[in-house]
Amino acid sequence: MKIFSATIATLMFMTIGCKNSPPVPKPLTHQPVKRVGMVTGLKPEKLAYYKQLHASAWPGVLNKISECNIHNYSIYLKEIEGRYFLFSYFEYTGTDFEADMKKMAADSVTQRWWKETDPCQQPLPDAASQGQIWSTMEDVFYAP
């Protein structure tokens, strides 16, 4: 509706050419949501502890996730032929992903949380070679 109104206002301005017309409003621009899927391994001996941690995640960690514009952050667990994998999905709604990730990494509560979770995880070779825990997956389909 905003875009439609702006178009009408532009047309009116062009047609009537009134000097006192208010400035034509810019059409709304929405920041597209960045959707991310990631995967990592989970050590079998840490299965129970990892689930327990995440079943009652620390409020400070949850707040920081939200503050850093990460939403709908979901982690799923699957055993595939005797090995455990974690899959995550989240939506990033901010404007500077790198900056928000640095902000999260600088948070002391999040750092303490990662001290608990990192030893549970078994990064895949591509993540491990970069000193990361999670590997980014390739996005092949999206239906809104």
Residue 105 touches its own copies, criterion: CB under 8 A:
no
Q: What tokens appear for 101 in the block?
A: 């990730």
Residue 85 identity = F
- For 69, other C-beta atoms within 10 Å of its C-beta total 21
Residue 41, both tokens: 């391994």
How far apart, in whole angstroms, are the C-alpha atoms of residue 115 and residue 82? 26
Q: Binding of its own copies at residue 45 (CB under 8 A)? A: no
Residue 80 contacts its own copies per CB under 8 A: yes
The Cα–Cα gap between 88 and 107 comes to 21
Pattern 1-40, its own copies, x by CB under 8 A: ----------------------------------x-x-x-
Torsion over CA: 53, 54, 55, 61 (sign):
positive
Q: Does 73 bind its own copies (CB under 8 A)?
A: yes
In the bound complex, what is the minimum distance in angstroms from residue 99's beta carbon to its own copies? Answer: 19
Q: To the nearest whole angstrom, how small is the minimum distance from the Cβ of residue 21 to its own copies?
A: 37
106 near its own copies (CB under 8 A): no
**Strands 121-122 and 34-42, bridge-based pairing:** antiparallel
Residues of this chain that bind its own copies (CB under 8 A): 35, 37, 39, 50-51, 54-55, 57, 62, 65-66, 70-78, 80-81, 85-87, 89, 91, 124-125, 135, 137-144
